Every structure is written in C-alpha cells, then in structure tokens.
Amino acid sequence: MIKDRLSRRHLLLGMGSRWAEGVAFNTWAVFVISYGTGTLHLGRQPILLSVMAAAATMVFFIPVFGRLADRVDRRRLYTMGIVLLAAATHPALVLLGTGNTFVIVVTIVLVLGVVYPIVYAPEASLFAELFPTRVRYTGISVVYQLSGIVASGLTPLILAYLLRSAGGEISLIVGYVVVVSVISAVCTLAMRKRDMYTERVDDQAHDAAHHVLRESVQ
C-alpha cells in the first residue's frame, strides 16, 4: 500500500509522464497503418514493412539510449525524447502524404525506430527511481499499466475520431500530440529522483535554495 506523500505524488507524475510515450508508440505502430491505408489510400504492405523495419531498428537503438540514460540525467533525456517526438509529428505525417514508398519507410523508421527509443529506453529505470523498495513493484505497475489504458489503449480510437472530426486533416492529431507532450514533459521534470540503492531523494531545487540561504546568512 502506497502511503507516503512523495510516492503518491509520483504515481500521478509517472502516469502523466508515460502518457506521451504511449501515445507516440500507438501513433506510429498502430494508428499509422489504418491512416496510411484508409485515409491516404496507400498500399498496406509498404506500411507494414515500414513498421517492421522500425521495430528492427529499435532493437539497436534501445540499448544505445539505455546506456546513455545511465550516463546522463534520465529525466532530461526522457523529456528531450518527448519534445523530439512532438516536433516530428507534423512533418512526419506530411511526408506520409507524399505516397512515396522510400519516404514513407524512412519517415516511420526514423520516428519509431530512432526517436521513440529515446523515451522507451530509460523508462524502466526512470519509474523505478520514483518509489522506495517497499512499494517499488506496486508503484511501477500502477504507473505503467494503469496509464496504459489511456496512453496506449485509447490512442488509436482518439486519433481516428480527431481525424474524422477534422475532415481527414491532421491538425487536430498534431494538436493532441503536442498537448499530451507538454503535460508529459512537465510531469517528468517535476519528478524527484530517488537513488535506487540508498533511497536518498534528489531534491536539487531544495538543495540550491538551502545553499543560497546559508551563503546569505554568512
């Protein structure tokens, strides 16, 4: 049972943080198939092959960004990935509309295979640092699985509805992705990292304020 205030706060922040990751994956691995074949009238095979190629590319880039996450601040790396995914949404959807098979393959591979791993690779460690050992499994499970209902399960339905509401235009989809990304970025930056071994909470803002106050008194 999660009782301490920081862990309860991290439940909400973690679910908010994962929102953009779930939306990104289901946009480029699920929704893009129906969008490409149903709205853009592209062949199903090139889209499916593009997603498969992106999945194969992820096999390489997930360890790369996972290693990088062990060397830098995971929160900042995750946030950078969120920003890049949001920024890539509009141009990527426009490029899909060209109908050029090579462009489509490169676009999906870059977004899903290269950029998406920036958020997926550090995710497990990022969420593990949010909770003390006594509630860590519970915390991570709630953050990942419960948020997945909205972040993952509903994304294709939401995007299909927005696409139909906009008469086939991508404006509402882009707007939705950007709003979700802003929320997730704010939630990620608001997290307070907990050392997984010593369980010390990293509160850089508090430490900086305390340092300034001490210097002013001296």
> Does residue 6 have a pLDDT over 90?
no
Residue 74 identity: R
What digits encode the pLDDT tens for the residues 16-63? 999 999 999 999 999 999 999 999 999 999 999 999 999 999 999 999
Residue where the block lists tokens 């990292």: 193
Instruction: Label residue 201 by pLDDT band (50, 70, 90).
Output: low
Tokens of 170: 């991508």
What is the pTM assigned to this prediction? 0.84
SS (H, E, C) the chain: CCCCHHHHHHHHHHHHHHHHHHHHHHHHHHHHHHHHHHHCCCCHHHHHHHHHHHHHHHHHHHHHHHHHHCCCCHHHHHHHHHHHHHHHHHHHHHHHCCCCHHHHHHHHHHHHHHHCHHHHCCHHHHHHCCCCHHHHHHHHHHHHHHHHHHHHHCHHHHHHHHHHHCCCCCHHHHHHHHHHHHHHHHHHHCCCCECCCCCCECCHHHHHHHHHHHHHHC
Lowest mean pLDDT among 8-12, 23-27, 88-92, 213-217: 213-217
Pair of tokens at residue 179: 């709003």
Counting the structural domains of the chain, the total is: 1
So what's the pLDDT on residue 3?
59
**Whole-number pLDDT of residue 31:** 95
Predicted pLDDT of residue 196:
53
Residue 206, pLDDT score = 39
pLDDT digits (tens, 9 = 90+) for 156-176: 999 999 999 999 999 999 999
Q: Does the structure show a pLDDT above 80 at 202?
A: no
- pLDDT of residue 184 exceeding 50, the answer is yes
For the stretch 104-156, pLDDT in tens is: 999 999 999 999 999 999 998 898 888 888 888 888 888 888 888 877 889 99
Q: If we measure between CA atoms, which residue out of 204, 188, 196 comes closest to residue 143?
A: 188
The answer to whether 7 and 135 are in contact (CB under 8 A) is yes
Structural domain span for residue 97: 5-217
Average pLDDT, the chain: 86
**pLDDT at 203 (0 to 100):** 52
Instruction: Quote the tokens at residue 80.
Output: 């950078």
Residue 217 pLDDT grade (very low, low, confident, very high; cuts 50, 70, 90) = very low
**What is the CATH number for 70?**
1.20.1250.20
